[in-house]
């Protein structure tokens, strides 16, 4: 530990959330405000972000919503002025990387560079960078306990998935390089698949939850692609928001840790859990993969270990899959499931 602390307390401080009009961004903003943040700036270009996600925040005098783009460094230089901590969430995921690799690499690579540049130039106290378990890759090589030095397995995975994972590896290393050369304090959090209230239709893995729920509500049998035996490891958005806050608060810097829920599930278990929570008598049906649609499957059973996060920032997940799903389904029933976003 260096003599200078990398801890950034929340109370009274000013935070910028890049990609703030999102599931993770809005939930983290709620938490930062509840913990006494002096200001929270939500920066988004609203291409995927949604005004709905932040509508409940606009009456808080401490909240500012800025329409800007990570591809425009001046937007970020303006938004980081006087800011103590930055949470960088803006990214394209695998489905977008499949549709438009130019935009995807722009946002995930150049966007990360611009955010880091703004943080360094403005002397931001700490950057929390949202990475992904995609840095461990895909396929049968991804098996057992995934710890932070697990290599990136790519053989046989769809190009868009590999591009996404590689772009997150690049982002992490840009943070490390900025720490080594320019003194930027940062924590990388490798999110596993996020789910929770305000769930959208953009994450390939979380689609199973919302699509299963949609089908049950329409009186249709939920679908499982293949045998559903492959592992998925989710994290509840409220737990993730705590991890973001704790990454600021902890005296940790220059570190990358997993943030994952208590335990993994299989796809089939997940679909059955949704069935059980809705009380439906509909049973899942197994279907063949659709040609041309990016779905990620893995051969091996794996578990994303989160012990390092506890050591680095004192975090561990609190909400299990059943309780998290119950909250998500309750929100969807109450809010009305949103129309599928045209990502």
* Chain residues in the site for its own copies (CB under 8 A): 98, 101-102, 105, 109-110, 113, 137, 141, 148-149, 151-156, 159-160, 162-163, 166-167, 169-170, 173-174, 176-177, 180
Residue closer to its own copies, measured from CB, 158 or 261? 158
Residue closer to its own copies, measured from CB, 66 or 154? 154
Q: Whose CA is closest to 150, among 139, 158, 159?
A: 139
CA distance 3 to 12: 23
Tokens 């722009």 belong to 106
Residue closer to its own copies, measured from CB, 60 or 254? 254
* Minimum gap (Å) between residue 169 Cβ and its own copies: 5
* Minimum gap (Å) between residue 150 Cβ and its own copies: 8
* Minimum gap (Å) between residue 141 Cβ and its own copies: 6
Residue closer to its own copies, measured from CB, 136 or 208? 136
CA distance 168 to 133: 9
Residue closer to its own copies, measured from CB, 46 or 152? 152
* Minimum gap (Å) between residue 90 Cβ and its own copies: 17
> Which pairs count as long-range contacts for 64-68, CB under 8 Å and 24+ apart, including other chains?
64/39, 64/40, 65/20, 65/21, 65/41, 66/41, 66/42, 68/43, 68/44
Tokens 């909400």 belong to 319
Residue 115 burial class via C-beta count within 10 angstroms: exposed 0-12, middle 13-18, buried 19 and up: buried
- Both structure tokens of 178: 């900025």
* Minimum gap (Å) between residue 179 Cβ and its own copies: 9
- Both structure tokens of 65: 């919503």
Residue closer to its own copies, measured from CB, 104 or 238? 104
Residue closer to its own copies, measured from CB, 120 or 337? 120
* Minimum gap (Å) between residue 162 Cβ and its own copies: 5
- What is the bridge-based pairing of β-strands 126-132 and 186-191? parallel
Residue closer to its own copies, measured from CB, 34 or 155? 155
CB 138 within 8 A of CB 222: no
Tokens 């790519």 belong to 154
CA distance 15 to 99: 32
* Minimum gap (Å) between residue 151 Cβ and its own copies: 4
CB 245 within 8 A of CB 35: yes
CA distance 321 to 333: 18
* Minimum gap (Å) between residue 164 Cβ and its own copies: 10
């Amino acid at each position: 530990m260096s003599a200078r602390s990398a801890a950034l307390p929340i109370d009274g401080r000013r935070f910028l959330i890049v990609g703030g009009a999102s599931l993770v961004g809005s939930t983290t903003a709620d938490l930062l405000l509840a913990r006494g943040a002096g200001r929270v700036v939500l920066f988004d270009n609203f291409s995927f972000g949604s005004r709905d996600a932040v509508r409940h925040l606009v009456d808080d005098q401490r909240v500012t919503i800025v329409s800007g783009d990570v591809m425009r460094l001046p937007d970020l230089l303006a938004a980081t002025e006087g800011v103590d901590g930055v949470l960088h969430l803006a990214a394209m995921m695998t489905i977008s990387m499949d549709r438009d690799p130019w935009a995807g690499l722009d946002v995930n690579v150049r966007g990360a560079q611009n955010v880091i540049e703004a943080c360094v130039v403005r002397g931001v106290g700490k950057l929390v960078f949202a990475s992904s378990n995609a840095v461990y890759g895909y396929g049968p090589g991804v098996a057992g306990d995934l710890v932070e030095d697990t290599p990136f397995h790519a053989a046989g995975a769809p190009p868009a998935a590999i591009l996404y994972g590689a772009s997150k590896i690049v982002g992490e290393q840009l943070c490390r390089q900025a720490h080594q050369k320019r003194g930027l304090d940062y924590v990388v959090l490798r999110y596993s698949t996020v789910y929770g209230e305000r769930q959208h239709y953009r994450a390939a893995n979380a689609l199973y939850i919302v699509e299963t729920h949609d089908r049950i509500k329409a009186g249709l049998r939920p679908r499982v692609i293949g045998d559903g035996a492959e592992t998925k490891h989710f994290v509840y958005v409220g737990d993730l928001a705590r991890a973001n806050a704790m990454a600021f608060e902890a005296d940790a810097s220059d570190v990358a840790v997993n943030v994952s829920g208590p335990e993994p599930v299989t796809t089939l278990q997940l679909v059955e859990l949704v069935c059980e929570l809705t009380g439906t008598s509909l049973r899942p049906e197994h279907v063949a993969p659709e040609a041309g649609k990016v779905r990620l499957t893995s051969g091996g059973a794996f578990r994303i270990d989160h012990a390092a996060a506890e050591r680095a920032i004192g975090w561990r997940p609190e909400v299990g899959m059943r309780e998290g799903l119950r909250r998500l389904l309750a929100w969807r029933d109450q809010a009305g499931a949103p129309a599928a976003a045209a990502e």
